[in-house]
Every structure is written in C-alpha cells, then in structure tokens.
Amino acid sequence: MKVVIAHSPDSDDAFMHFAIGEGKVDTGEYQFDHMMADIETLNRHAVEGRHEVTAISIHAYAHLSDQYALLNHGASMGEGYGPLLITKEPRTREDLTDQVIAVPGEWTSAALALKLWMPEAKTEVVPFDEIMQRIDSGEFEAGVIIHEGQVTYEDEGYHSVVDFGEWWARTQDGLPLPLGGNAIRRDLGETHIREISKILRESIAYALEHREEALQYAEQYNRGLTREQTDQFVGMYVNQRTLDYGEDGREAVCRFLRMGAGSGAVPEVAEPEFIV
C-alpha cells in the first residue's frame, strides 16, 4: 500500500522521517513516498485530503478535524520558545498597533499565536522564507518568523518583540506552545491508521537513538545553518515530546484550540483524539 508522507523541507522533519526514507525501519506492506512543501501549502492540501499522512499546523487542525486525526507523535512543540515577532529596529507592541504584520500563512500556529497575543493585529500572508528580506526592504515593519530563522535572526540583525513560546509558557501555566502535528487521514480505517502510526513512531525513535546519523541526513535540508545550528534547531523540535505529546502537551493543544475558538479566530472543534 502506497502512503504519502507530506512534510516541510526542514532539517527537523527530515530528521524525523530519516529512518523511513533510508530503510532503517521495517515498513511491512507500506511503501512510503515523501512530498515536501511549506506548512501553509500542506494545510491547504489537507483540506482536499490529498495526502495519507501530513504535517499540519495545530491551528489548521480546527478546520481539518473531520478528515484527519492527530497522531500522538510527530509534534513540534515550543518549550518556552517558538515563533518570534521580529523587527529591524527595536519596537514595542504599541509601536505595531497600526502596522501590517507579515505572517507565514493564514492557518499557521504562528499566526494564531499572534492573534491571541495581539487580537487587533493586522496581518498579511508572506512566504515564510521571504519575511526577513521584506522587513529589511521596509515593506513591513514586523513579521512572524518560523523554522530556521528562530536561531539566526539575531545574527542577521533583527530584534525580537515577543517570543510566542516564552509568552505562552508564562501565561499558560508553563505549558508548551503547540505548533505542528502529524495527522493521518481518517478514511484509511482503524487497522491502517494503527499500523502506519507505529511505523512513524519507530522512525522518530530510531532518529533519536542514532542522532549523529540522522543529523547528517537532515543537514541537506538545513537552509544555510551550520552543523551546530542544525543540531540546535533539530533539538528544539524533535525530542522526547515528539515521541509522545505527554499529558501537558495534549492539554496545551486543547487549550490553544479552545482559546482560538473563544477569540473567534478558529471554529470550535471537539477535543482531538491522539492516535497512538
């Protein structure tokens, strides 16, 4: 059975799926193909149910829960860190009240975090890898960055207005900030869902147990990071939390969605079932 795994072309996702791509785990009757695109594209593909397994934003899950179930592994969680709102010159929240802020996708968790932090924010969607340069050019005063920019923005001369992971932890009882999850299409049926889930979890576990080998593979997707920065970035988003959300991680997802619905930013959704 052919199964497409859709994910971002990032070193952390490459690290996570390395063992499947390189034949390090037994995939049984399943043939896995990888499809890579930015997270907002994957969110939109999921509306069509295009891929059997896909990375999605937790924000997007509120729109997709009828078609996809969240797996209990494969999550990206900010443990006191996360997407950042950045500017070229030091700015405060008040300075940005009337400014249009660049966000990396309407359904990204970064965009929802911004709306929870600053409900009055005016936003415009910009490809995630163009946000810094478009701030630099003066087109935008501020933008929300995700992916590798989180570890390079200071070196590139930008200032942080807020780290949404730090803000979330401080205001939400120390909970991690839910960012992305792996989702599986419900119409595959219970047997396929459980078997595919097991293989995907084994891939994550293999990478964590063979870190240097997996990092070497992931480096080809690091978009200009040094080996040390790649190691840092992968460690931020692929760790023991990626093997299991944990009780607090699952609570964080539910709270993020409830708060989003309460603010009117996302539709109300039943609390997700996390497929083991």
Query: Is residue 45 a contact partner of residue 54, using CB atoms and an 8 Å limit?
Result: yes
What is the dihedral sign for C-alpha 157, 158, 159, 162? negative
Structural tokens at position 229: 């920065």
Q: Which residues contact 59 (CB under 8 A, 6 or more apart)?
A: 107, 108, 109, 111, 112, 256, 260, 266
Distance CA 6, CA 39 (A): 9
Choose, from 45, 147, 192, 210, the residue flagged as catalytic: 147
Q: Note if 147 is an active site residue.
A: yes
CB atoms near residue 266 (< 10 Å): 22
Half-sphere exposure of 256 (CA within 13 A, CB side): 33
The residue count of the chain comes to: 276
Distance CA 36, CA 22 (A): 16
Distance CA 34, CA 196 (A): 14
Q: Assign residue 194 a region: left if phi > 0, alpha if psi is -120 to 50, beta otherwise?
A: alpha
Which residues are catalytic, by number?
A: 147
